[in-house]
Amino acid sequence: MTETAENHVAESQPVVQRIVVASRNPAKLRAALGAFRRVFPDRRFDVEGVSVPSGVGHQPMSDEETLLGARNRAEAARRLAPDADFWVGMEGGVEEHPAGLASFAWIVVLSRSQVGRGRSGVFFLPEPVARLVRSGVELGDANDRVFGTQGSKLEAGAIGLLTRGALDRVELYEHATVLALVPFVHPELYDESLALR
C-alpha cells in the first residue's frame, strides 16, 4: 500500500472518543454508550467506568440532591481521567410527592467546553419499598428485600422489577442521557457560561 493510500485509510477511520462514566455499574455503562451511539451514530466511542464519590447522601432524597450528586460524580471522573473526551455522572434519587415517593435519575455530561443535564421519567415506588427507603435503606437494597432478588440495581433496577421487564434501568438512563446530550448536538444554541453553573 502506498503512503498516500495509507493516509487515506487513516483519514477515513473515525477517531474513537473516550467516555468515562462515574460508575462501574454495568447498566450505567451500557446506558451511556447506547445514548452516545444514538445521538452521534457517525462517531466511535469507548466507555469505561470509574468509582468516585457522589458527595451527597447514600440515597439522595430530593431532586436537588440527586442532580448535585450527578454533577459531583461527573466532575470527580474528570479529575480522575482528565484526558477523556466526555465525563458522565448518573445519580438515582427519590423525592416525596403527594402521589407517593417518586423515583428518577439525573444525568450530567461534561466535555472540555460544555455541560448537559437530563432527567429520566418519574415513577412511584410501592409503599413497601418506599417505607424502607424512608427508613434509610438504599433503593436497590430495598428492592432486593421486597422482591427477593440480589443485585437488582446492577441489572433491571427498580423500574425493571416493577414493570416486569417492559422497561429496564438501562433504557431509563439511556433516555435521560440522550436528553443530557442536547447541548452537544447544538452547542451554538447553548451559552457555555450558563451551562457551567
Is pLDDT larger for residue 152 or for residue 64? 64
Residue type at position 90: M
User: What pLDDT is recorded for position 34?
Assistant: 98
User: What is the arithmetic mean of pLDDT over 57-61?
Assistant: 92
Secondary structure of the chain: what % helix, strand, coil (to 5)? 45, 20, 30
Res 5 pLDDT > 80: no
pLDDT at res. 14: 75
Residue-wise pLDDT for 116-147, tens only, equals: 999 999 999 999 999 999 999 999 899 999 99
- What confidence category does residue 156 fall into, taking pLDDT thresholds of 50, 70 and 90? confident
Task: Specify the pLDDT at position 79.
Answer: 97
CA distances 9 to 6, 17, 43, 44, Å, are: 5, 18, 16, 16
User: Quick one: 131 exposed, middle or buried, by C-beta within 10 A (0-12, 13-18, 19+)?
Assistant: middle
- Whether residue 4 has pLDDT greater than 80: no
Residue whose C-alpha is closest to residue 21's, from 10, 32, 9? 32
Q: What's the pLDDT band for 157 if we cut at 50, 70, 90?
A: confident
State the alpha helices, DSSP H only, in the chain.
3-12, 26-39, 63-80, 127-134, 139-147, 157-162, 169-180, 182-185, 192-195
What gap in Å lies between CA 46 and CA 29, rounded to an integer? 10
Residue 20: phi and psi, rounded to 5, are -110, 120
The grid cell for 24 is 462501574
Give 191's pLDDT tier (boundaries 50, 70, 90). Answer: confident
Cβ pair 84, 69 in contact under 8 A: no
* Range of lowest pLDDT (28-42, 74-88, 140-154): 140-154
